[in-house]
A and B are shown apart, each in its own frame.
Chain A
Amino acid sequence: MVHKLSGAIALGAALMLSTSAFAQDKRVVTWNADYDPIPLAAAEALIADFEAANPEIAVQLTNFDHEAYKNAIRNFLTADAPDLANWYAANRMRPFVEAGLFADISDVWANNGLMDSLASSVPSSTIDGKQYAIPYTYYQWGIYYNRDAYAAAGVEVPGAEGVSWDQFLANCEKFKAASIDCVTTGSSALWPVAGIFDYVSLRTNGYQFHSDLAAGKVSWTSPEARAVFDNLGKLQPFVTENHAAIDWQDAAAIFVQGKAANYVMGNFAVGVFKEGGMTNDNLGFMVFPEITAGVARAEEAPTDTIHLTSGAKNPDDAKTFLAYMASAEAQSKWNAAVGQLPTNSGATVDPADPFLTAGFQALSTATGGIAQFWDRDADAEYAKVGMEGFQQFLVQPEQLEAILARLEQARTRLYPQ
């Protein structure tokens, strides 16, 4: 026993030595992250650049498994807080902000002119007038389409500006006649249906109404909300049957095989489509069609963020690193490696990637606003009730009244009037 114990101490001491020798006279900034291999390599490259520019600071990144991180962060923020932690913008960070676990970094925003360079992400980084997050990447949502499926059904392929809503529905009729699913999704994990609902809602009533709906400020039985479900009902007969039993990757297979023509998805799916054998020649991207004429176009772009923790041991140097992560140069580099979009308006996007270029174009011209996605705009519990309602409506549209009543009941309970 004693031997084992002393062995463990020796091992621990050796580990301590090896890390502290590395950072002997440097000031250490610790950063907990949840990266997959490619983003991790990109982050390490950024750290190397940062350390070269700031030789007196060493950034130590501890990487977690993506799913495990969601639980781990709840523990490490109180038990043993790193200086920096990855998380998500908008309502997803609210519990941590309200428990006082994420620190106010309004000064980083003010001192580095981020209000201008990160203008599109100000609302999603702000709670009660203070900034708590540095957004460094996002990705667009929209309609990905399979040109081969369009050709097989004899439907004209949409141009760069997309199609009108009526044209889209008319196309759906033709796809149905050709036994091709017009719109596919796999909603067993619920969130993919929120993408469809969000877009129909944003296009029917605009950004402000949608964001009020997500915040529980508007009734589900209001005429505007009913209009959203009306439009969703027009799409419903053309959505892949049995989508409730399959994952989004299964639906991607249907899409790649040309059994479905359109897929309302986020840009991260492009990698999956290409692994399935699609190329830039038969994979296309368009923004979701306009539904109500004159509604300013808003887009969905979930943002990933880095936060300064309240328990940070080295907040000053951590803020230096945050400012670096907000810079155009760092964001261009990281996002180019990962294939996502930088939030800094001065950053550049790889012109050879048609989907990133199209996404950058779509987001930078979205005058209506940028939504985060249903489950980040709405409170967790409200988001879940909502997504179950959307999924049920896409399976049982005749249950609309029951669904609206249930959503309204949840709203009045969670947001007492």
Chain B
Amino acid sequence: MAQASQATAPRRWNQRTVAPWLFLAPGLFMFGVYVLWPIIQSVTLSFYDWNGLYNQDGQFTGRFVGMGNYAELMTDPAFETSLWNNLKWLVLYMLALPIGLFIAIFLNQTVTGIRLYKSLFFFPFVISQVVVGLIFAWFYAPNFGLFYLLTESITGKGTAILANPDLVTYGIIAAGLWPQIAYVMILYLTGLNNVAPDQIEAARLDGAKGWRMLWYVVLPQLRPATFIAVIVTVIGALRSFDLVSIMTNGGPFGSSRVLSYYMFEMALGEYGFRMGYGAAIAVVLFAIMMIFISGFIWKMWRDEKER
């Protein structure tokens, strides 16, 4: 068989070289159709001014505007707000790491019923983001929300976070942190299971404890968990859409918008249907994500090579 194929074709086309591609084919096909093609289409669309309609004969009604959409983005105050809010999300979402680690260490002990406590702490990650958003929206609600009543009893005047343009983004980030901390915690809990007991033992014999033990012995062993936690937190912060949509619709007057929500608003929202502009925002968001994704891929590549 191998001889026969070698006889008819040069050695490049033997079973060994074809087989990997055959196995890759379904994946590549899916990747091409559902990832690459939409990316190309979005980028193309971002050069057009199009309201999403085809005319009677099914012809595309868009108008080519070149870099027009991007030029408009540069002067768009709503885009600037979204960008700043995304930055707030990125920075504050990182709080999930130390808090998640703290809870994980706290729960990493053998007490009766610890499994129950662990699952209770993990619970917020299991429920849908929409539900998290609703719970927090009620928590913050003016007049009857728990938080409002709490601030009212302390300061005499209730604070309605979601109506306050300066606080609203922080309020939503706090809601997002709740499940994100649970997620990071579970990552660290599994990581803690793999911490070598003999190294802890050795460190203890050498007199390490407390912070020094955590910093020099435990944390280095948790590096893979930390790496994954950073990645999921960054991506979680950048694609924050559901909470914004559920809790405020980007309001009050657009002050809690983030890029992903602004993109949706412009392309598919009730007052939007500017497909080209929405696509331009998507391209910018993609470029920002690409920075982190390439870092992730680069590190994976390096680790594979070292092995």
Contacts and interface: CB of A to CB of B under 8 A. Distances in A.
Interface of A: 70-71, 74, 77-78, 95-96, 99-101, 187-190, 241-246, 254, 310-311, 375, 380-381, 383-384, 388-389, 391-392, 395-396, 406, 409, 413
A245 B163 contact: yes
Nearest to B160: A242
B55 A100 contact: yes
A96 B61 CA distance: 11
Contacts of A187: 251-252
The 8 closest A-B pairs by CB, nearest first: A244-B252, A245-B163, A384-B271, A242-B142, A242-B160, A245-B162, A242-B163, A392-B253
B248 interface: yes
Q: Which of B56, B77, B249, B273 has the most CB of A within 10 A?
A: B56
A381 B270 CA distance: 9
Contact of B252 (A95, A245, A381): A245
B252 A375 contact: no
Given A188-B249, A388-B253, 7 more contacts: A95-B53, A188-B162, A190-B249, A190-B251, A245-B248, A380-B271, A388-B254
Contacts of A100: 55-56
A414 to B, nearest CB: 11
Give the secondary structure class of B's interface.
loop
Contact of B248 (A188, A254, A380): A188
Q: Which of B140, B162, B163, B254 has the most CB of A within 10 A?
A: B163
B141 A245 contact: yes
B272 A381 contact: yes
A391 B61 contact: no
Interface residues of B, number: 32
Given A391-B251, A406-B77, A243 B56 contact: no
B166 to A, nearest CB: 10
B253 A395 contact: yes
Q: Which of B56, B268, B271 has the most CB of A within 10 A?
A: B271
B117 interface: no
Contact of B56 (A242, A311, A395): A311
Contact of B55 (A99, A189, A380): A99
Contacts of A99: 51, 53-56, 61
A380 B56 contact: no
Interface in B33-74: 51-56, 58, 61, 72
Contacts of A189: 249
B165 interface: yes
Contacts of A190: 249, 251
Interface in B135-150: 140-143
B141 A391 contact: no
Contacts of B75: 409
Contacts of A381: 271-272, 274
Contacts of A243: 163
Given A188-B249, A246-B141, A381-B274, A101 B163 contact: no
Contact of A245 (B52, B160, B268, B270): B160
